[in-house]
Structure 1
């Protein structure tokens, strides 16, 4: 099947009018009977509108997971065709059995993305005779009765509600609960998240599939000359690395306290990642600890540059209090960089036996872990060796296959 991009006509609006909403709802109710196409390949419609074409924090973890799973979904003789609903049609380029369906709505706008997701997508799915809808981020359309699969990355908004803006928290809590009730299969990215979905939303464990992230081939030990040239270009010498969006659950103030307690040296701390929300405490803490000359805020880093940051760093520190998985952990290991990470939520699953863990509330313990890695060459060598071996356990190809298995189970009514 040839790959093509289909554009769905839309209204050029900045704000959805009540008239538009009412008309879409009325039309949608007339079309809400689920139908299957006898004798034809099943069709899976995938909501990938969280893919971002712009540099920024939206291209972080969820974007990477969606992109890689789509690129690795298998096409088989008896399997489904895939309709990927996205305004980033390049993701389907060269993929057999995969077609991009775009909209003129600017789904980078949260409001318009919700409008599309809840009202327009069910219509598009009905018109294209989609058998299964896969919502790749938390929320399914309320007005659709089609068989559904939903991916839930984490429930940080349930564990730490005070760390989210009130409107965002209420929306995620309400809509994720509804999605768990309606979806036939639920995908999580770790065993820890699987248990969270079971605990908070009472979903039977046999309805929840774990599809672990993989590691892209770009994350590998790079030639020393390339790393040295990168460091000269950026003016880098010795540094500890943190990768992640600046937001409360990343627990960066504890990392700053631990870093401030290290003996004086030329070592710096590089915080790689864009601004998320409620991040002012981080900058306040840097000033309070007088670390302005020792902490580097890089902002968002392009995907192609990130492996160089991992390779150049002395170690990665990942102090989050909660994660759905913790992709920077295995990315750093794949580059041969030692890892120190918190022992919270799913992070021990990502670390395995290949890194050092610490209590994310204990800055002194983190200081001790960093000091041990810096002062013990044998320990550094072991962590590098173990990390490289451990990272090989994570495969995007396997993630694509397991996602396809979840589709098959859902279509079979299991």
Structure 2
């Protein structure tokens, strides 16, 4: 589930692993050797190597059901934590905790092919109800887990995600100026960080709304789209090529972690039109960097956005455009107020707090 650290689940596992080890827990981690470099904190003797021949979805699922239980039994683990509903173990010989980030197969049926959709909608609820505990990363996700998966409240624990505040914090003006020069960012820009996935990440509506905003406002702003290619990228590419404002839209591709905070910090705002999120890391990360957020109010984003963000209906191009106009017309005083409010809001989301609460869950399911 690490996917080179390019997925939300991957980032979750990396951050949680680092923080749990800092807390003194003995953590063993199962992963593909291709992702080993993301876990320098894991000693070799605590690394459980998943064979490369089991890297694909169906084969990887099979490894978790057929091979992992024997490894768990042999090593005598106290607790097993599965960080995604896709890999929960049906017959786990140790207490099992699962983090379920969202209920996407139920909310966005078109997101998956028929086989994955069937697995998510029919098989996952049955497995989820067998968990000793399920962790939800937002209140919205928790409600969905109860509604769609049938997990009872006593088996569900809400533990919001965190972010790395050592990385995501306001940068100096000199650092931002150097970054703009290095990346040839000569005009004010909006940034959207999400994998290029259609329709879930909603790039097509954003591209249309951005074009309208430029025409109606007269502001010579750019739009930077950063993310890894995913299902439906060709539809997004077509929308970009068809836009009369394509020269103002920069298809940046995947943004490396060491520059992500600078991409946020140098932007006029993060614009985040996603149709469905279990949490929505970029909204919190951007605000922690002192950047305004203009964000979808769908699913968990309505709670994660906080009071400083400018919300919009992601299914309406008119609504997205109106929010961009509100941003473009914002005076300095309001901008300063919202930035400070956003930094304060983001400060509550800490991996240390998340790991502490996860550890408490582990102790509860393992009998203390």
TM-score normalised by length of structure 2: 0.90
CA distance in 1, matches of 2:190, 2:156: 37
- 1:239 matched residue in structure 2: 189
Alignment of 1:3-22 (within 5 A): none
CA distance in 2, matches of 1:297, 1:173: 34
- 1:398 matched residue in structure 2: 353
- 2:286 matched residue in structure 1: 332
* Matching of residue 382 in structure 1 with residue 337 in structure 2: yes
- 1:15 matched residue in structure 2: none
Deviation of 1:171 (Å): 2.6
CA distance in 2, matches of 1:159, 1:242: 22
- Secondary structure of 2:246's match? coil
Deviation of 1:379 (Å): 2.2
Alignment of 1:55-66 (within 5 A): 59-66=6-13
Residues 354-393 of structure 1 deviation map (CA, whole Å, 9 limit, x = unaligned): 2111111222222222222222222221221111111101
- Match of residue 265, structure 1, among 204, 219, 223: 219
Is the 1:339–1:383 Cα contact (8 Å) retained in structure 2? Answer: no
Question: Cα gap change, 1:164/1:291 in structure 2, threshold over 3 Å: closer, same or farther?
Answer: farther
* Matching of residue 83 in structure 1 with residue 28 in structure 2: yes
- 1:182 matched residue in structure 2: 130
- 1:29 matched residue in structure 2: none
Is the 2:171–2:265 Cα contact (8 Å) retained in structure 1? Answer: yes
Is the 2:133–2:156 Cα contact (8 Å) retained in structure 1? Answer: yes
- Match of residue 102, structure 1, among 38, 49, 52: 49
Residues 311-332 of structure 1 deviation map (CA, whole Å, 9 limit, x = unaligned): 1110011111210011100000
Deviation of 1:75 (Å): 6.8
Deviation of 1:134 (Å): 1.4
Is the 1:314–1:338 Cα contact (8 Å) retained in structure 2? Answer: yes
Deviation of 1:100 (Å): 2.2
Is the 1:105–1:112 Cα contact (8 Å) retained in structure 2? Answer: no
Residues 145-196 of structure 1 deviation map (CA, whole Å, 9 limit, x = unaligned): 4321111111111111112222222233344213312101001110000000
Deviation of 1:76 (Å): 6.7
CA distance in 2, matches of 1:76, 1:293: 49
Gapped regions of structure 1 (runs ≥ 5): 1-49
- 1:159 matched residue in structure 2: 107
Is the 1:252–1:319 Cα contact (8 Å) retained in structure 2? Answer: yes
* Matching of residue 412 in structure 1 with residue 358 in structure 2: no
Deviation of 1:250 (Å): 1.3
CA distance in 2, matches of 1:108, 1:135: 17
Is the 2:73–2:93 Cα contact (8 Å) retained in structure 1? Answer: no
- 1:119 matched residue in structure 2: 66
CA distance in 1, matches of 2:290, 2:248: 24
- Secondary structure of 1:269's match? strand
- Match of residue 132, structure 1, among 75, 79, 93: 79
- 1:206 matched residue in structure 2: 154
Moved more, 294-303 or 66-75: 66-75
Gapped regions of structure 2 (runs ≥ 5): none
CA distance in 2, matches of 1:295, 1:349: 29
Deviation of 1:60 (Å): 2.6
- Secondary structure of 1:62's match? helix
CA distance in 1, matches of 2:316, 2:337: 24
- Secondary structure of 1:65's match? helix
CA distance in 1, matches of 2:317, 2:23: 51
CA distance in 1, matches of 2:176, 2:23: 41
Deviation of 1:344 (Å): 1.1
Is the 2:163–2:349 Cα contact (8 Å) retained in structure 1? Answer: yes
- Match of residue 141, structure 1, among 89, 92, 104: 89
Question: Cα gap change, 1:390/1:183 in structure 2, threshold over 3 Å: closer, same or farther?
Answer: same
Is the 1:74–1:401 Cα contact (8 Å) retained in structure 2? Answer: no
Is the 1:119–1:143 Cα contact (8 Å) retained in structure 2? Answer: no
Deviation of 1:94 (Å): 4.6
Deviation of 1:280 (Å): 2.6
- 1:23 matched residue in structure 2: none
- Secondary structure of 1:250's match? coil
Question: Cα gap change, 1:106/1:384 in structure 2, threshold over 3 Å: closer, same or farther?
Answer: farther
Deviation of 1:284 (Å): 2.2
- Secondary structure of 1:261's match? helix
CA RMSD of aligned residues (A): 2.2
Question: Cα gap change, 1:280/1:91 in structure 2, threshold over 3 Å: closer, same or farther?
Answer: closer
